[in-house]
């Protein structure tokens, strides 16, 4: 039987990469976030993780739910959104066709249309590439990216998260799931994209709600968080409607989850959005 052995909410912002670039004005600005991603990778390896399942809020879909089922993810990525931030970033990561297909099958049993794609030209988005750059740099574990649909509902994303957990439990894999996306996601308008935009929040309201969410998580008040999640996603400009967070908590058991939330780095703003790395421990 398979097992979920690590679950986390993680950041994927391009400023992580910039903070490591020589001569960058952001040099070392994201050091704590980078260290915590590497720590999550260390924990995953220590726990014998064989596959990362990544809920990627930068792989946006207009038409339903999609999974990248390639046996090997290989390519060079330049961000169409920010080519000055992520450019010619090479990746070479094994995939897991069997688990991707199993997830799609379990979702179909829940009457949700999910397609697992084995398409050579289907590359990865940076919501997967950036966390894997730090957590799985030499491809020691397989990777299954899951898209975030734009025109969906909390209920449908919850069905997929539950299907993913069932597929994991019935597999032979030891799995880490990553909700790769921001907390609040209001970005600075173009005319305000000065140097201070990298390290300031675009909405004080969003920052206050993000901090309250972190308090709820750290005190184990998950029911309150889940009840506020639909409003949180809308009013705080949730990235991809916070589909990654919905799928994460569905895979954890939703209201039944009782684990400990461990915040691994300080909350930080990036381009106006709110970012953090948090592990949701799986022990009772």
Alpha-carbon distance of 1 to 165, in angstroms, equals 12
Burial of 267 (0-12, 13-18, 19+ CB in 10 A): middle
Q: Which residues pair with 95 in a beta bridge?
A: 143
Other residues' Cβ atoms within 10 Å of the Cβ of residue 193 = 13
Work out the pLDDT band at 26, boundaries 50, 70, 90.
low
More confident residue, 66 or 80: 66
Tokens of 188: 């600075």
Q: What is the mean pLDDT of residues 104-128?
A: 95
CB 185 within 8 A of CB 232: no
pLDDT at 128: 98
For residue 266, which phi and psi values (nearest 5 degrees)? -65, 145
pLDDT at 27: 65
Structural domain containing residue 117: 3-280
Q: What is the mean pLDDT of residues 133-157?
A: 95
Tokens of 6: 């690590």
Q: What is the mean pLDDT of residues 149-176?
A: 96
pLDDT at 222: 98
Q: Domain holding 26: CATH number?
A: 3.40.830.10
Task: Calculate the average pLDDT of the chain.
Answer: 94
Number of domains in the chain: 1
How do strand 174-180 and strand 89-94 relate by DSSP bridges? Answer: unpaired
Other residues' Cβ atoms within 10 Å of the Cβ of residue 263 = 15
pLDDT at 24: 65
Q: What is the mean pLDDT of residues 38-45?
A: 98
Q: What is the mean pLDDT of residues 187-209?
A: 86
Sign of the alpha-carbon torsion through 269, 242, 65, 99: positive
């Amino acid at each position: 039987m398979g097992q979920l052995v690590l679950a986390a909410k993680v950041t994927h912002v391009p400023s992580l990469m910039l903070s490591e670039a020589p001569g960058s004005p952001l040099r070392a600005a994201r050091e704590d976030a980078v260290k915590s991603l590497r720590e999550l990778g260390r924990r995953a390896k220590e726990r014998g993780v064989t596959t990362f399942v990544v809920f990627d809020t930068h792989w946006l879909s207009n038409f339903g739910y999609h999974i990248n089922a390639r046996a090997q993810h290989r390519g060079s990525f330049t961000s169409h959104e920010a080519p000055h931030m992520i450019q010619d970033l090479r990746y070479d990561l094994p995939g897991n066709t069997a688990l991707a297909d199993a997830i799609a099958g379990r979702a179909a049993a829940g009457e949700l249309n999910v397609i697992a794609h084995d398409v050579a030209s289907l590359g990865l988005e940076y919501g997967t590439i950036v966390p894997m750059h730090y957590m799985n740099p030499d491809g020691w574990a397989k990777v299954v990216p899951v898209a975030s649909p734009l025109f969906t509902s909390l209920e449908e994303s919850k069905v997929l998260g539950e299907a993913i957990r069932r597929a994991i439990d019935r597999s032979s894999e030891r799995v880490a799931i990553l909700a790769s996306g921001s907390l609040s996601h209001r970005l600075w308008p173009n005319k305000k994209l000065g140097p201070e935009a990298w390290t300031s929040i675009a909405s004080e309201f969003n920052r206050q709600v993000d901090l309250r969410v972190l308090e709820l998580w750290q005190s184990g008040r998950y029911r309150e968080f889940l009840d506020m999640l639909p409003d949180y996603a809308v009013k705080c400009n949730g990235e991809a409607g916070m589909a990654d967070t919905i799928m994460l908590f569905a895979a954890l058991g939703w209201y039944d989850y009782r684990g400990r939330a461990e915040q691994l780095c300080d909350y930080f703003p990036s381009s106006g959005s709110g970012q953090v790395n948090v592990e949701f421990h799986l022990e009772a």
